[in-house]
Amino acid sequence: MTYEAGNYYLERECLFSPEALQKSIFPLIEEIDAVNQRNDLNLQDIAQRFFMKLLRWFRIIILQDVVFLRDQFSGSSL
How many residues in the chain? 78
Q: How much is the pTM?
A: 0.73
Q: What is the CA angle 20-23-29, rounded to 5?
A: 150
**Tally of CA atoms within 13 A in the half-sphere of 65 that contains its CB:** 7
pLDDT tens per residue, range 39-72: 998 898 999 999 999 999 999 988 888 877 888 8
Ranges of H-type helices in 1-78: 19-22, 29-38, 46-72
Q: Tell me how far apart the alpha carbons of residues 60 and 5 are, in angstroms, rounded to a whole number.
A: 25
Where in the chain are the domains? 26-72
Residue 10: predicted pLDDT:
64
